[in-house]
Structure 1
């Protein structure tokens, strides 16, 4: 029950603002109005309008004090202030005041009521604001029939200024709501874009791994099918064992192709070619050096699983593409090395791509529509094969990409 009550507790005006001074502004304005109008109303009602001091004090409290409540509950404050203003107008009919003075609502009441209308506009919906203005206009016109002096346009000042204040507050509230929804939509769109990029990269990885696994399964099938011809005379039970292995491998390959077939489309047929690995990173470096600047490459002659070689190639490809996009002409170092065996993780293949700052800031980005999610694909590749990735800017303005990948099939599992 306590939690429900806390959720239903109304928030102060502008409580959702990011800056503290904006959140405190409604309280400051309400306090200043209350402190300024309270004594002023008493003095003016007694000295100028000739109202009794006790009655004037009561009206002043009823008209000014609710302005503090308006910061949290403006509609409830309006009920009190509106009733007090109408009652004050009726009480002024019993006093003898000059025709030049405003009636039915003195200047102090108009100032407080306009401030209250701004608070209403910032909190209440259009229908409520319209009803408030109609009530104000109706009371103003009805009191005009009992005017002790000539009723003119200046006597409608509360209706006019109150309507303007309600309109201003409503416009500000709706503008804030539009901006808030726009920010929320941009946040949702960015999250959805990141999710879509991740899913696309997973699909691409799955297609590539499918080619790798399909190759191995095909080799198993062929070797099992041809074993009896390559190995000479085999016992019947051994021949049946090889036949069973070939059938199982063929069935598994078919199931895998059916499961991953949805990831292939007509445009993906080019991916059926052999996938690149560590041996092709040197060619990638040479192509980048010819296109955009000096690139140093330190190779490493080591045997790795195809999935690891493919991931290393794709990470290097994305890292060099980022250098071309964001730091054209920057000196870049690409190195492959094997770390010392670790008791927990074992030996690891380390891929390091480090670039310095660009010689000159590019006049314009090479890809204006870049999504900026290239690192998402790197992290996903590394995560799938059980490696680690470390990326980040360098003090000199460059950037560093360091990936550690498992060396053996055992580490992949």
Structure 2
């Protein structure tokens, strides 16, 4: 029992290492780039050269010895053939197709040379066992780098060369060319499948990254359009008041000079023109046909209703808000309500049954909104495991609009906190928001 955790960690590390190696092996590389060129570890980048050198170092002396001792080939000629058949494996690390051309030509030449050798009888021909081993290693490099059409040509050329040599001397052939034809096809199929699977996974990751960026951008634009629609009602109210006051000023104030009457008339006309422009802008923003946005905009006076609705949804929530907060700008009033609304909605979706506390306080020239929830109820399952991102995006945009600050993040006990500080003084510049990592 005591060795289980270390063993589990070792297996996880081994699996991660194999996944990294597989990704590096199947990663696309430019022409002439060696296998594992994109591996993060320098040892992994040197691994293909080490494997190729090991094959050459083992196959070259064995090939020469077998050609000299068993096939009775001249020593110098055996050395040249062994070098030509094995040394190109080093080239296969970066240029496998060119290495294949050299090896196939050397193998065919070696088969023709063996036709005149005295020790061929009873031994493999046209390919020697060493040729089969080296050729299959070469097929691994070719399959990991070349497209499917090229691999088909390589496989057919391999089989064609063997069948042509068998026609040259059928009595010497022992069927090893069929073995190489089948094995090389299997290796090419396997390595090509691994490479194509890696390519598909990379394309999927790239597409997911692009989709996530587009989704975040769309979420931000949708939230800004929603805020713009809501602020239209706030600004339109003030512009309507200006229009009415400017129009009624000549009747409410006696003895106004003509210049003042003309000035009030100009102000009223400008206000009406601004209202008309805002209505045209709102028609564009509401082009989706949404009718719910035409309802009166809510404020802090409706926070109690939000808390009560949350309690009915199964979340024990309580509200702390003094009765006399004093006058609050409409933009801040609306933003505070929306922040509480989004925070409580997130609790219902992601932490069902979590005790939640909502606090709205005013200190000097700032309004502070705090929503804190504890860990979710034991055994409760979240309604959503992934969100659209509208909640936090909307909070940030509203806080930035009013020039306030936003602080969100998880709590040590498994809960979550949302704290917004909104300035009450007009003319505040948009401020930064902070968010602790989840």
For normalisation by structure 1, the TM-score amounts to 0.89
Number of the residue aligned with 1:303: 327
How far did residue 152 of structure 1 move? 4.8
Number of the residue aligned with 2:349: 325
Number of the residue aligned with 1:200: 222
Checking the alignment, whether the CA contact within 8 Å between 1:208 and 1:271 is kept in structure 2 is yes
2:313 corresponds to 1:291: yes
How far did residue 195 of structure 1 move? 1.4
- What's the CA shift string for 1:32-52, capped at 9, x where partnerless? 322321222122222221222
Of residues 113, 127, 134, the one that matches 2:149 is 127
Checking the alignment, whether the CA contact within 8 Å between 2:100 and 2:138 is kept in structure 1 is yes
SS at match of 1:51: coil
Q: In the aligned structure 1, how far is the partner of 2:368 from the partner of 2:66? A: 84
How far did residue 27 of structure 1 move? 4.2
How far did residue 26 of structure 1 move? 3.9
Q: In the aligned structure 1, how far is the partner of 2:105 from the partner of 2:62? A: 20
How far did residue 58 of structure 1 move? 2.4
For normalisation by structure 2, the TM-score amounts to 0.84
How far did residue 399 of structure 1 move? 0.6
**Structure 1: segments with no counterpart, 5+ residues:** 1-6, 341-346
Of residues 40, 43, 52, the one that matches 2:62 is 40
How far did residue 25 of structure 1 move? 5.5
Q: Provide the aligned C-alpha RMSD in A.
A: 2.5
Number of the residue aligned with 1:4: none
- What's the CA shift string for 1:3-34, capped at 9, x where partnerless? xxxx9663333444678887665445433322
How far did residue 241 of structure 1 move? 0.9
Q: In the aligned structure 2, how far is the partner of 1:175 from the partner of 1:9? A: 20
Of residues 189, 197, 203, the one that matches 1:181 is 203
How far did residue 297 of structure 1 move? 2.0
Number of the residue aligned with 1:275: 297
Q: In the aligned structure 2, how far is the partner of 1:118 from the partner of 1:384? A: 59
SS at match of 2:127: coil
Checking the alignment, whether the CA contact within 8 Å between 2:124 and 2:174 is kept in structure 1 is no
Q: In the aligned structure 2, how far is the partner of 1:82 from the partner of 1:391? A: 65
Pairs aligned (count): 400
Of residues 236, 255, 258, the one that matches 1:236 is 258
Number of the residue aligned with 2:426: 409
Of residues 380, 397, 416, the one that matches 1:362 is 380
Checking the alignment, whether the CA contact within 8 Å between 2:409 and 2:416 is kept in structure 1 is yes
How far did residue 256 of structure 1 move? 2.0
Number of the residue aligned with 2:412: 395
How far did residue 243 of structure 1 move? 0.7
**Structure 2: segments with no counterpart, 5+ residues:** 1-28, 431-438
**Range 89-98 or range 249-258, more displaced:** 89-98
Q: In the aligned structure 2, how far is the partner of 1:373 from the partner of 1:21? A: 45
Q: 1:60 to 1:149 in 2, by over 3 A?
A: same
How far did residue 148 of structure 1 move? 7.3
Number of the residue aligned with 1:31: 53
- What's the CA shift string for 1:47-76, capped at 9, x where partnerless? 221222232222222222222221221112
